[in-house]
Structures are given as structure tokens and as C-alpha cells.
Structure 1
Amino acid sequence: MSRITLKVDVDTLRGTLEGVPALQRMLDRHQARATFLFSLGPDNTGRALRRVFRPGFLKKVSRTSVVEHYGLKTLSYGVLLPGPDIGKKAAAEMRAIGTAGHETGIHTWDHVEWHDQVRTRDAAWTLQRMQQSYDRFGDVFGHAPVTHGAAGWQMNETAIRQLDAWGMQYASDGRGAAPYFMSIDGQPCKHMQLPTTLPTLDEILGVDGLTVDNVHEHLLGLTDPNRHGPRDHVFTLHAELEGQKLAPIFDRLLTGWLQQGHTLGTMGDYHATLTHQMLPIHPFAWGEIPGRSGELIVDLDCRSR
């Protein structure tokens, strides 16, 4: 039986306070579990507007209304308003999702800062930010995190190595076609990477005639076992999108995936099915994904599979 792993990136205070509880209610209706990856420090979303000069950024923004999905207040954080501390203001909502039986893990400390700077920052900066998120996760949940999913699929080699130092067995930090072990300077990492395999809604909405009314049909076509055979997938959604304005799309996807016969579950559930399999080893690499501006962590070797 094939599996759809549900990975929820939570980027903002609003997404944590409003989108996470809404997703919990929806998942409960479908009797499904997901992995929620939290931003644990300041919400400086407004600073992301500096990406306006990046190739492809304005094109993406024009397809998905940033103001509609994030709100003016959130877009002011870190610019016109001080960035609120998500881990302090929304700890109860974070704990509630874990109590409800969903998996929880680290997304980042400061989402915008990590997304925009980690590729060029040194080891000291990287380890400081990672330790801040690790410590805050422990403060919120009372236990160590079991997994990690990088903000914006952005990492550096120090960050990847730190996942091994923490003893994590699996993470989802990039994009690709199937699980693998990442190598750095020819040395394989100990933790398994479960890359996002499906396009995200913000990458495909507004492209090739895809709208809020039919985009679910496109994604269900990619996971249809009658067309492609049984195949596991990792789908990344966002508390700010599928947990709010795009919730009806995600609801249709959950219904469709269950009708297709897929099992819906967490990264931990998926990892448990792979622990005795021989997986390939592929190098740490950067690349581009259609519909997303800039480079991100990708499994380049997946193109030959």
C-alpha cells in the first residue's frame, strides 16, 4: 500500500495560532496524522519582502496573494512592528497538536533569517540558531525533537551534520523523488532524508490554468496509482495556506488520497517502513524547482531514477 506523508511547515505566529488548530480539526475528520514543523523564535515575516529583487519572486507573489494569506499585520512583523516570539506566544497551540497525536519537530528559529542567510553563514552562526530552536522546542514540549524540516528547503553543511549530532534518525530538508542518505565531502550522514516529492500549492496555483477549483485534481493525478503504480510521496503544506484560505483544497486532497487507497501519516510513520531498506547515498546539492524562486536543497541524482 502506498503512503502520503503529510508535512506541515509552520512559519508564522498567525499560522501557529489559527492555521494549526484548523488543520488539526480537518485531520481529525479524516482520521489522519501529520508532522508539524514549528518556527520557534521571532516572526519577522515582513523582512521577506526584501526578496522582491530575486528572480521569480514577483512572479510567484502575483500568483498567490501574499496579503490575503498572511495579512497586513504579519507582513509588518520585523519591519513596522517588532517580531513577536512565536514559541512564547503560541506554546499552548504547539503542545496541543502534540497532545492530539501528531508528530512535532523543528522548522527553524527565525524563518526569514534562516531562509535568506543560512547558505552563506558560517558554522558558529548556524549552530547558534539551531541550538536556539532545539532549546526552545524542549521548553515548549518537555522533550527533545525527533525530526527537522528546513525553512524554505535551505540548509548548509554544518546544519546537516548537526542533525546527526542531535541523534535524529530522519529529516525532510530538501526536494527529491525518494528517500536517501545525504553525503557531505564523500561521507554519508547517519540520518535519512525524506524529501518533499510533490509540488506545493503555492508553486503550481496560477500555472497552466490551475486554480483553487481544480488544482487538487492535478495533484491527485500525480498520486493516482492507476496511472503511476503504487508510490510513496511526501507532501509539504503550510499552516498559513492550507490551514486557512486554501483549506478547502487540502480537504479535497485528503478525501481524494484516501479514495485512491493511500495511507496518510507522519514522517515517523514513513521512516518506520524504510528502516530495513538499502537506500541510495547522494551528495548535498543545490538546484531549482519550478514555481519557486532561488535555489534550494535538492537530490540531483533523483533525475536519473
Structure 2
Amino acid sequence: MKPLLALKIDVDTWRGTREGVPRLMALLKKYNAGATFLFSLGPDHTGRAIKRVFRPGFLNKVSRTSVVEHYGIRTLLYGTLLPGPDIGRREVALLRSVRDAGFEVGIHCWDHIRWQDYVADKDAQWTQNEMQLAAERFVEIFGEPAKTHGAAGWQMNEAAYAFEAELGLIYASDGRGTHPFQPVSTEGKLIGVPQLPSTLPTLDELIGLDGWTEANVHEHLLMLTESKINTPHVYTLHAELEGQRLADTFEKLLLGWQNQGYQLVSCKAAFESLDMKQLPRHQVLMGEIAGRSGVLALQGGAEK
């Protein structure tokens, strides 16, 4: 059996939905690749990210990637000088077309900026309200509850993990790590649903570091996947990056991974390949990774 590499597509903005998603669907079909599209289902308030300028490491990251080219000037004004368009209401037909084309669909968030910037320090009520808004909108669009969730910016709190089970999700991909696991609380209690963490760095984390550019960054990622692992890899891409300016880079990755012998699948297919009886238990910690500002959810040590 071929090793599996799951493609997880975060769709953060209205522009990414309208322009990036159709281009990614065409690329995936060209290579007969599966994928999981995770949608931002409420207002696009990307412009409110301007306050991140005060976050350590943020300016360094922005200087390495062309934010304006990737996101567009209008997008960078949504929620400040321009009202934030409601993505889920405006793009019902497009979102349904992704499902109808055979791709897995799930929840990324309600309001991407609101979740990414605040959830880590919010209480259970705030967290559940944000998740419930997204869950209800998902049902409005697709006619059935979502089965998976991938947190915006890999930002979570313990209440968010717990509420995923209450929403009826079967698995989630909310953080970064090395292999699938069942999250446990700081007291060692099982919480939430099984996690398929992203195992590989993203393009925006690599470009501009150690000589990696848009032209050659795929070589580094392919080097990381040369040696096969016993569990599926999960690669997170973005509709605003690989679905637009970095589409050629993504195509090189698709071809390279297929040449390495990988079967490119949805996160659901990767999840279904696992033996749940052998799933290890891990805490989730907040920590830093190279190339990204701030802290995010990381797979912690295994429960003894």
C-alpha cells in the first residue's frame, strides 16, 4: 500500500474562496489528488490583523512574504475601512461545488481573525459560541453537520477541544505535530476527538529563510518527505497562497510527492487508515515554531 499524504486546505478569506478554491480544485483533479477544504464561514475581517504588528516576529515574517500580492489591498481593508463580506452567505454555490466535486469539506472557523487572535485566552462560553456559529452555518450550506475542524492559525484552548466532541466531529486537525493522537487534558483525561496534526512546514514559514524562494522551496519540502513514516503526513496549504501566486509551487509538490510514491488523499481518508486502538495519547502545548510569529498548538509529550 502506498504511503498517505493528506492535503489540508485552509480557506481564510473571501478572495481565497472565490479565486483560490476553484484553481486548487482544478489542480487537484489534474493529479487525481484528494484533499480536505476547511472554510471560514462568517465575515472576512482580515484587515483587523493590523494589530499583529506589535507581535514579536510578525514584521520579520511579513517582510519575507508579499502580503499585498497574496491577499490583495481590498482584503487587507475588510473589517476596518471596508465592511467584512460574509463568506458563507455569498459563496454558498461555490462551497457546495467543492463537496459535489468529491472533496471533503469541513470547518475552519466563523471569523478567522477573531478566532486566531483571541481564542487562546477566551473562556468556554466565548469559544463555544464561535464554534456554534460556524457549525450552524455549515449545516445551512451543506445540509448536514460537519465532521471535521481545523483551527485558524492553529489556535485552540481546552474548551475548544472538548466542544469538538459535542458537535459530533469524528476527528480534527487543529495543531502541529508528528503523528495522529488522542488529546488529553492537563489532568490526563481524554478530551475532544482524535487529532491529525500538520506534520510539515508551510510555504510562508519557509520562503525567505535559508535561501528558500518561491522557485526552490518545493525542494526542501520534498526532501522532508523522502523518508517514509508509519503514519500519514498532513500538509496544510492555503487558498490564498497555493491557490493563487504559489500555484506553480504547489503543482511541483503534487508531482514530486506522486513521484515519491505517495497517495495524495483527504484528511478523512488518512484518518480512516488509522488503527484507533493503537492511537497514542498526548497533551497539547502552546509553543513556537520556526518561521511563524507567536505561539500555536503543538503536540506535546505522550502520556505514560
- When normalised by structure 1's length, the TM-score is 0.96
CA contact (8 A) 2:170 2:193 kept: yes
> What 5-or-longer segments of structure 2 have no aligned partner?
none
Question: How far off its partner does 1:229 sit?
Answer: 5.9
Alpha-carbon displacement from aligned partner over 1:105-154 (angstroms, at most 9, x marks no partner): 00000000000000111111111111100000001111110100000000
Question: Which residue number corresponds to residue 259 of structure 1?
Answer: 259
Question: Which residue number corresponds to residue 53 of structure 1?
Answer: 54
Question: Which residue number corresponds to residue 183 of structure 1?
Answer: 184
Shift of the 150–82 alpha-carbon distance from structure 1 to 2, 3 Å rule, reads same
CA contact (8 A) 1:223 1:231 kept: no
Shift of the 276–131 alpha-carbon distance from structure 1 to 2, 3 Å rule, reads closer
Question: How far off its partner does 1:13 sit?
Answer: 0.3
> In 1, Cα distance between the equivalents of 2:73 and 2:167?
37
Question: How far off its partner does 1:191 sit?
Answer: 1.5
> In 1, Cα distance between the equivalents of 2:68 and 2:282?
38
> In 2, Cα distance between the equivalents of 1:41 and 1:229?
37
CA contact (8 A) 2:108 2:150 kept: yes
Shift of the 129–190 alpha-carbon distance from structure 1 to 2, 3 Å rule, reads closer
Question: Which residue number corresponds to residue 207 of structure 1?
Answer: 209
Equivalent pairs, count: 301
> In 2, Cα distance between the equivalents of 1:151 and 1:118?
10
The letter of the residue matching 1:10 is: V
Question: Which residue number corresponds to residue 168 of structure 1?
Answer: 169
Question: How far off its partner does 1:212 sit?
Answer: 0.9
> In 2, Cα distance between the equivalents of 1:261 and 1:64?
31
CA contact (8 A) 1:5 1:266 kept: yes
> What 5-or-longer segments of structure 1 have no aligned partner?
none
Question: Which residue number corresponds to residue 144 of structure 1?
Answer: 145
Structure 2 SS opposite 1:298: strand
Alpha-carbon displacement from aligned partner over 1:50-69 (angstroms, at most 9, x marks no partner): 10010110000000110010
The letter of the residue matching 2:128 is: L
Question: Which residue number corresponds to residue 114 of structure 1?
Answer: 115
Question: Which residue number corresponds to residue 238 of structure 1?
Answer: 238
> In 2, Cα distance between the equivalents of 1:230 and 1:191?
21
CA contact (8 A) 1:287 1:300 kept: no
Question: Which residue number corresponds to residue 67 of structure 2?
Answer: 66
> In 1, Cα distance between the equivalents of 2:252 and 2:188?
43
> In 2, Cα distance between the equivalents of 1:94 and 1:190?
26
Question: How far off its partner does 1:232 sit?
Answer: 2.6
Question: How far off its partner does 1:284 sit?
Answer: 2.5
Question: Which residue number corresponds to residue 224 of structure 2?
Answer: 222
Alpha-carbon displacement from aligned partner over 1:173-193 (angstroms, at most 9, x marks no partner): 000000011001311135110
Alpha-carbon displacement from aligned partner over 1:7-47 (angstroms, at most 9, x marks no partner): 00000000001100100000000011100000000000000
Question: Which residue number corresponds to residue 196 of structure 1?
Answer: 198
Question: Which residue number corresponds to residue 17 of structure 1?
Answer: 18
Question: How far off its partner does 1:230 sit?
Answer: 6.2
- When normalised by structure 2's length, the TM-score is 0.96
Moved more, 272-281 or 52-61: 272-281
The letter of the residue matching 1:14 is: R
Question: How far off its partner does 1:277 sit?
Answer: 4.4
Shift of the 214–293 alpha-carbon distance from structure 1 to 2, 3 Å rule, reads same
Moved more, 79-88 or 231-240: 231-240
> In 2, Cα distance between the equivalents of 1:16 and 1:268?
21
> In 1, Cα distance between the equivalents of 2:275 and 2:86?
37
The letter of the residue matching 2:104 is: E
Question: How far off its partner does 1:275 sit?
Answer: 3.6
Moved more, 136-145 or 276-285: 276-285
Structure 2 SS opposite 1:174: coil
Moved more, 273-282 or 35-44: 273-282
Question: Which residue number corresponds to residue 38 of structure 1?
Answer: 39
Runs of 4+ in 1 over 3 A off after TM superposition: 228-231
CA contact (8 A) 1:169 1:190 kept: no
> In 1, Cα distance between the equivalents of 2:210 and 2:91?
38
Structure 2 SS opposite 1:118: helix
> In 2, Cα distance between the equivalents of 1:148 and 1:67?
28
CA contact (8 A) 2:179 2:231 kept: no
> In 2, Cα distance between the equivalents of 1:22 and 1:193?
28
Question: Which residue number corresponds to residue 293 of structure 2?
Answer: 293
